[in-house]
Structure formats: C-alpha cells, structure tokens
Amino acid sequence: RLEFARTHVNWTAEQWSPVLWTDESRFSLRSPDGRERVWRRAGERFAQCAISPRDSFYAGSIMVWGGISREAHTELVIVNRGTLNAERYVEEVLSEHVVVFAGFVGPRFMLM
C-alpha cells in the first residue's frame, strides 16, 4: 500500500475517490499477546517493580475491521470468535461489506 501511495502521490482528489483503505485491529484489556515486555541487562534478575500480578479472569478482546475512502466509509465490522483467516475474511468482510461498498463506488473501485 505504501508503494502504491508513493507511486500515485500526484493523483488528484478525484482519482483517489474510488480507493478503499482498510485495516483490522484487535483491542484488548491487556497487552495484545498477554505478555509484558521488560528490558534488562544480561545476567540481571527481574526487578520486583517490573513484575505484574496476573488476574484470574479473562480480560477479553475484540477484533474490528473497517475501511475509509475519500468520500465515505464502511461500517465498523466486529469480528467475532477467533482468528480472522483468509476464509473468514472472504465470508465475513469481503462478501458482506466490501462488495456492497464496491457497488456504491462503481467500476473504478480499488481495495487497499
């Protein structure tokens, strides 16, 4: 996407109109992978102040997907349960949201 944007940096606003920029992100009440990162020197023990107590409950997380273009945006899609693999991406995002958006934009539609 960055290469595409750099290649087309001189496009007009009208030329950018059919481009849908998308991204997904997971939001968690804890760090994304459940681990805290602490830098220390080789041979140095963990400092007590750098150790976080563990909660006995699942803090939970949510994954969302969305897209924006020059003139519009998609709905914010909440991705339920598990990993967003290629099959789920096609079924739950592309088929249900991107295809509809592409119809609104027309034949010049581009997905990023």
**Which sequence spans correspond to the domains of the chain?**
11-27+57-112
- DSSP string of 13-49, one letter each residue: HHHHTTEEEEEEEEEESS-TTS-------TTPPPPGG
How far apart, in Å, are the Cα atoms of 108 and each of 5, 88, 112? 16, 26, 13
At residue 78, the 3 state secondary structure works out as strand
Backbone angles phi, psi at 47, to 5 degrees: -80, 140
pLDDT at 74: 92
pLDDT at 11: 95
Q: What share of the chain is helix, strand, coil (3-state, %, to 5)?
A: 30, 20, 50
Segment 40-55 mean pLDDT:
72
Residue 104 above 70 pLDDT? yes
The answer to whether 73 and 67 have CB atoms below 8 angstroms apart is yes
Q: How far apart are CA 98 and CA 67, in angstroms?
A: 9
* H/E element, 82: none
Residue 26 above 70 pLDDT? yes
Q: Which residue has the higher pLDDT, 9 or 82?
A: 9
Segment 56-69 mean pLDDT:
80
Q: How far apart are CA 67 and CA 104, in angstroms?
A: 14
